[in-house]
Structure 1
Amino acid sequence: MQGLGQFVPLILIFAIMYFLLIRPQQKKMKEHQAMVSNLRRGDQVITQGGLIGKVVKVKEDNEVEVELGEGVKVRVVKSTIATVLNKTEPAAANTNK
Protein backbone atom coordinates (compact mmCIF):
# COMPACT_ATOMS: atom_id res chain seq x y z
CA MET A 1 0.00 0.00 0.00
CA GLN A 2 2.91 2.32 0.79
CA GLY A 3 4.37 1.83 -2.72
CA LEU A 4 1.08 2.71 -4.41
CA GLY A 5 0.88 5.99 -2.49
CA GLN A 6 4.18 7.09 -3.99
CA PHE A 7 2.83 6.77 -7.55
CA VAL A 8 -0.33 8.84 -7.00
CA PRO A 9 1.42 12.24 -7.44
CA LEU A 10 3.17 10.97 -10.57
CA ILE A 11 -0.15 9.78 -12.03
CA LEU A 12 -1.79 13.12 -11.19
CA ILE A 13 1.02 15.05 -12.89
CA PHE A 14 0.66 12.92 -16.03
CA ALA A 15 -3.12 13.43 -16.06
CA ILE A 16 -2.74 17.21 -15.73
CA MET A 17 -0.11 17.28 -18.51
CA TYR A 18 -2.41 15.25 -20.77
CA PHE A 19 -5.41 17.55 -20.34
CA LEU A 20 -3.45 20.82 -20.47
CA LEU A 21 -0.86 20.07 -23.16
CA ILE A 22 -1.27 16.89 -25.17
CA ARG A 23 -5.01 16.89 -25.83
CA PRO A 24 -5.28 20.53 -27.03
CA GLN A 25 -2.28 20.02 -29.31
CA GLN A 26 -3.88 16.94 -30.89
CA LYS A 27 -7.10 18.89 -31.45
CA LYS A 28 -5.17 21.73 -33.10
CA MET A 29 -3.38 19.26 -35.39
CA LYS A 30 -6.69 17.71 -36.49
CA GLU A 31 -8.13 21.14 -37.27
CA HIS A 32 -5.05 22.06 -39.32
CA GLN A 33 -5.22 18.78 -41.27
CA ALA A 34 -8.90 19.40 -42.01
CA MET A 35 -8.14 22.96 -43.17
CA VAL A 36 -5.34 21.77 -45.46
CA SER A 37 -7.41 18.93 -46.92
CA ASN A 38 -10.24 21.37 -47.75
CA LEU A 39 -8.05 23.80 -49.71
CA ARG A 40 -9.41 24.69 -53.12
CA ARG A 41 -8.64 26.98 -55.99
CA GLY A 42 -9.20 30.66 -55.18
CA ASP A 43 -8.49 30.44 -51.43
CA GLN A 44 -6.24 33.19 -50.11
CA VAL A 45 -3.63 31.66 -47.77
CA ILE A 46 -0.69 32.57 -45.56
CA THR A 47 2.26 30.18 -45.49
CA GLN A 48 4.37 29.54 -42.41
CA GLY A 49 7.06 31.65 -44.05
CA GLY A 50 4.71 34.64 -44.04
CA LEU A 51 3.93 34.69 -47.77
CA ILE A 52 0.39 35.68 -48.70
CA GLY A 53 -1.00 34.32 -51.92
CA LYS A 54 -3.92 32.82 -53.77
CA VAL A 55 -4.25 29.10 -54.48
CA VAL A 56 -4.18 28.60 -58.24
CA LYS A 57 -4.00 24.82 -58.44
CA VAL A 58 -4.39 22.01 -55.92
CA LYS A 59 -2.16 19.09 -56.84
CA GLU A 60 -2.74 15.55 -55.65
CA ASP A 61 0.76 14.90 -54.33
CA ASN A 62 0.46 17.08 -51.21
CA GLU A 63 1.26 20.32 -53.05
CA VAL A 64 -0.56 23.47 -54.05
CA GLU A 65 0.42 26.13 -56.51
CA VAL A 66 0.14 29.60 -54.99
CA GLU A 67 0.22 32.86 -56.92
CA LEU A 68 2.08 35.47 -54.87
CA GLY A 69 1.81 38.27 -57.39
CA GLU A 70 0.83 38.75 -61.00
CA GLY A 71 2.66 36.02 -62.90
CA VAL A 72 4.60 34.81 -59.81
CA LYS A 73 3.59 31.25 -58.95
CA VAL A 74 5.28 28.94 -56.44
CA ARG A 75 4.71 25.34 -55.44
CA VAL A 76 4.02 24.97 -51.72
CA VAL A 77 3.71 21.86 -49.58
CA LYS A 78 0.19 21.80 -48.13
CA SER A 79 1.32 21.29 -44.54
CA THR A 80 3.25 24.59 -44.61
CA ILE A 81 0.08 26.62 -45.04
CA ALA A 82 -0.58 28.33 -41.72
CA THR A 83 -4.02 29.89 -42.26
CA VAL A 84 -6.68 30.45 -44.88
CA LEU A 85 -7.68 34.11 -45.06
CA ASN A 86 -10.53 34.05 -47.58
CA LYS A 87 -12.31 30.79 -48.25
CA THR A 88 -13.98 30.44 -51.63
CA GLU A 89 -17.37 28.83 -51.75
CA PRO A 90 -17.83 25.61 -53.71
CA ALA A 91 -19.44 26.02 -57.10
CA ALA A 92 -23.20 25.86 -56.64
CA ALA A 93 -25.33 23.68 -58.86
CA ASN A 94 -26.74 25.51 -61.85
CA THR A 95 -30.30 26.46 -60.83
CA ASN A 96 -31.42 28.20 -64.01
CA LYS A 97 -34.99 27.29 -64.86
Structure 2
Amino acid sequence: MGDFEQILQTSWPILLMIVIFYFMLYRPQKKQQKERNELLSSLKKGQKVVTIGGIYGEIVSLTEDHVMLQVADKVEMRFARTAIANIANKK
Protein backbone atom coordinates (compact mmCIF):
# COMPACT_ATOMS: atom_id res chain seq x y z
CA MET A 1 0.00 0.00 0.00
CA GLY A 2 2.94 2.32 0.62
CA ASP A 3 4.10 1.99 -3.00
CA PHE A 4 0.70 3.08 -4.30
CA GLU A 5 0.70 6.19 -2.10
CA GLN A 6 4.20 7.09 -3.26
CA ILE A 7 3.19 6.71 -6.93
CA LEU A 8 0.11 8.84 -6.31
CA GLN A 9 2.16 11.56 -4.59
CA THR A 10 4.66 11.74 -7.45
CA SER A 11 2.12 11.62 -10.27
CA TRP A 12 -0.51 14.13 -9.06
CA PRO A 13 1.22 17.11 -10.77
CA ILE A 14 1.06 15.29 -14.10
CA LEU A 15 -2.63 14.49 -13.58
CA LEU A 16 -3.26 18.10 -12.67
CA MET A 17 -1.54 19.28 -15.87
CA ILE A 18 -3.69 16.90 -17.92
CA VAL A 19 -6.88 18.30 -16.35
CA ILE A 20 -5.73 21.88 -16.94
CA PHE A 21 -4.82 21.05 -20.54
CA TYR A 22 -8.29 19.63 -21.12
CA PHE A 23 -10.18 22.61 -19.71
CA MET A 24 -7.96 25.37 -21.14
CA LEU A 25 -7.13 24.02 -24.60
CA TYR A 26 -9.08 21.02 -25.82
CA ARG A 27 -12.59 21.87 -24.61
CA PRO A 28 -12.69 25.49 -25.90
CA GLN A 29 -11.30 24.39 -29.26
CA LYS A 30 -14.01 21.76 -29.65
CA LYS A 31 -16.68 24.33 -28.72
CA GLN A 32 -15.34 26.81 -31.29
CA GLN A 33 -15.19 24.10 -33.96
CA LYS A 34 -18.81 23.13 -33.25
CA GLU A 35 -19.96 26.77 -33.55
CA ARG A 36 -18.09 27.15 -36.87
CA ASN A 37 -19.69 24.01 -38.28
CA GLU A 38 -23.13 25.28 -37.23
CA LEU A 39 -22.44 28.62 -38.94
CA LEU A 40 -21.38 26.99 -42.20
CA SER A 41 -24.34 24.61 -42.24
CA SER A 42 -26.84 27.41 -41.53
CA LEU A 43 -25.88 29.58 -44.53
CA LYS A 44 -28.84 30.57 -46.72
CA LYS A 45 -29.36 32.35 -49.98
CA GLY A 46 -29.74 36.12 -49.47
CA GLN A 47 -27.60 36.35 -46.33
CA LYS A 48 -24.88 38.98 -46.18
CA VAL A 49 -21.55 37.46 -45.16
CA VAL A 50 -17.88 38.31 -44.75
CA THR A 51 -15.16 36.04 -46.08
CA ILE A 52 -11.91 35.23 -44.31
CA GLY A 53 -10.20 37.68 -46.69
CA GLY A 54 -12.54 40.50 -45.63
CA ILE A 55 -14.77 40.57 -48.72
CA TYR A 56 -18.40 41.48 -48.02
CA GLY A 57 -21.09 39.98 -50.19
CA GLU A 58 -24.56 38.52 -50.43
CA ILE A 59 -25.06 34.82 -51.04
CA VAL A 60 -26.54 34.23 -54.49
CA SER A 61 -26.28 30.44 -54.59
CA LEU A 62 -24.99 27.59 -52.45
CA THR A 63 -23.65 24.12 -53.06
CA GLU A 64 -22.19 21.68 -50.58
CA ASP A 65 -18.64 22.93 -51.24
CA HIS A 66 -18.98 26.40 -52.80
CA VAL A 67 -20.74 29.71 -52.24
CA MET A 68 -21.44 32.28 -54.96
CA LEU A 69 -21.35 35.83 -53.57
CA GLN A 70 -22.53 39.01 -55.22
CA VAL A 71 -19.97 41.61 -54.16
CA ALA A 72 -21.17 44.46 -56.40
CA ASP A 73 -23.76 45.04 -59.14
CA LYS A 74 -23.25 42.35 -61.79
CA VAL A 75 -20.11 41.07 -60.00
CA GLU A 76 -20.24 37.58 -58.56
CA MET A 77 -17.39 35.64 -57.00
CA ARG A 78 -17.18 31.97 -56.15
CA PHE A 79 -15.69 30.94 -52.79
CA ALA A 80 -15.19 27.72 -50.91
CA ARG A 81 -17.87 27.40 -48.27
CA THR A 82 -15.15 27.24 -45.60
CA ALA A 83 -13.94 30.72 -46.66
CA ILE A 84 -16.96 32.32 -44.97
CA ALA A 85 -15.81 33.90 -41.72
CA ASN A 86 -19.14 35.12 -40.34
CA ILE A 87 -22.50 36.65 -41.12
CA ALA A 88 -22.37 40.43 -41.58
CA ASN A 89 -24.23 42.50 -38.99
CA LYS A 90 -27.59 43.82 -40.06
CA LYS A 91 -27.66 47.48 -38.98
Question: Normalising to structure 2: TM-score of the pair?
Answer: 0.85
**One-letter amino acid of the counterpart of residue 78, structure 1:** R
Q: Percent of aligned pairs with the same residue?
A: 36
SS at match of 2:88: strand
Does structure 2 retain, via aligned residues, the 8 Å contact 1:41–1:55?
yes
What is the rounded CA distance, in whole Å, between the counterparts of 1:80 and 1:12 in structure 2?
A: 38
Equivalenced residues, count: 86
SS at match of 1:49: coil
Whose helix fraction is larger, Structure 1's or Structure 2's? 2
Structure with higher Rg: it is 2
Does structure 2 retain, via aligned residues, the 8 Å contact 1:43–1:86?
no
Following superposition, the deviation at residue 3 of structure 1 comes to 2.6
**Matches for 1:41-56 after TM superposition, within 5 Å:** 41-56=45-60
Unmatched tracts of structure 2, length 5 or more: none
- Tell me the C-alpha RMSD between the 2 structures: 1.5
Following superposition, the deviation at residue 57 of structure 1 comes to 0.2
**One-letter amino acid of the counterpart of residue 39, structure 2:** M
What is the rounded CA distance, in whole Å, between the counterparts of 1:57 and 1:86 in structure 2?
A: 20
Match of 2:18 among 14, 19, 39: 14
